[in-house]
Amino acid sequence: MVALVALLLLSACGHGERTRGAAVECPSIAGMPDALLLLFGEMHGSKEAPALIRGLACSVSEKQAVAVGLEMPSQDQARLDAFMASGGKADDVDTLLATDFWQQGRDGRSSAAMLELIEDLRALKQAGRPVTLFAFDDQPGTQLERNVAIANGVRRFREAHPQMRIIALMGNVHAMSASMWAGDRMLAPSGSLLADLHPVSVLVSHPAGTIWACMPACGVQSLPASRDEAVPGFHEGAVMGGYSRSYRLASLTASPPAAENGKPAP
């Protein structure tokens, strides 16, 4: 099984302005589920999970259109669209980061690795690849329950693009395809609310390592290894309920917030 190749980014997927039509080489990733809707459930705040999504999008876009969905406020979609159409210069990055999501966010969804993922998707698009980026978190500014809000955002994009391959990255509870007990109540994760769209839920598992999160203090947090298959790559089944597949990362390294004190982090 090809293991580490999903995390490799070749020079064409790096930072900076790209020429439309430029050659892009992407790795072939063994074992990726053949489904139109893939829900990847992660522990927010690592470098490796966004890198996995970046590698998958690069590979899929060799043969077909692909959309990457991120757990960001859908109300910020216009900023994402503008950045994807930009040259990726410093002013473009500053404009993207000038929202509460980036400036106040501290849960890993607004990490430097997430910004790098967005920058590399922009580079792929500018190189002529059929890559789309969309935000699916409908909760900010509403009273929607979070799983409902996330499911609504993914569903809206699917209805507008019924045949496009979607790779959505979200928290590992949201991506579950089955209900679960949360204290004394039954919780319906976003994945279960999207059952009629036949998603494949993939748990992002990991060896012992670190993430950047607030637990409750904000900073680098240590995590033990997931108790599942230790070989990096895609696998059938998962240690966590509500998942039919898993992807084992080769490492787990904390990624801090992309913006600190109103400016991009170094």
- Tell me: the pLDDT tens digits for 68-78? 999 999 999 99
DSSP string, 108-159: STTBHHHHHHHHHHHHHHHTT--EEEEEEE--TTS---HHHHHHHHHHHHHH
User: CB-based burial of residue 189 (10 Å sphere; 0-12 exposed, 13-18 middle, 19+ buried)?
Assistant: buried
- Please tell me whether residue 51 adopts helix, strand or coil conformation: helix
CA distance 208 to 213: 15
Q: Is 149 left (phi over 0), alpha (psi -120 to 50) or beta?
A: alpha
pLDDT in tens, 205-238: 999 999 999 998 999 999 999 998 789 999 999 9
> Cα Rg for the chain, rounded, in angstroms?
17
- The model's pTM is 0.89
What is the pLDDT at residue 166? 98
What is the pLDDT at residue 96? 97
The token pair that represents 237 in the structure block: 């089944």
C-beta atoms surrounding 146 within 10 Å: 17
The structural domains of the chain, with segments of one domain joined by +, span: 4-264
User: CB-based burial of residue 251 (10 Å sphere; 0-12 exposed, 13-18 middle, 19+ buried)?
Assistant: middle
Whose tokens are 């993939």? That residue is 202
pLDDT at 18 over 50: no
- Please tell me whether residue 19 adopts helix, strand or coil conformation: coil
pLDDT in tens, 140-191: 999 999 999 999 999 999 999 999 999 999 999 999 999 887 778 889 999 9
Alpha helices for 23-108 (secondary structure H): 48-60, 77-84, 90-97, 100-104
Helix H or strand E segment including 185: strand 185-187
The token pair that represents 80 in the structure block: 């994402």
The token pair that represents 221 in the structure block: 């947090």
What is the pLDDT at residue 86? 97
Average pLDDT, the chain: 89
Fold of 4-264: Rossmann fold (3.40.50)
CA distance 255 to 112: 6
Beta pairing class for 131-137 and 66-73 = parallel
- Please tell me whether residue 215 adopts helix, strand or coil conformation: coil
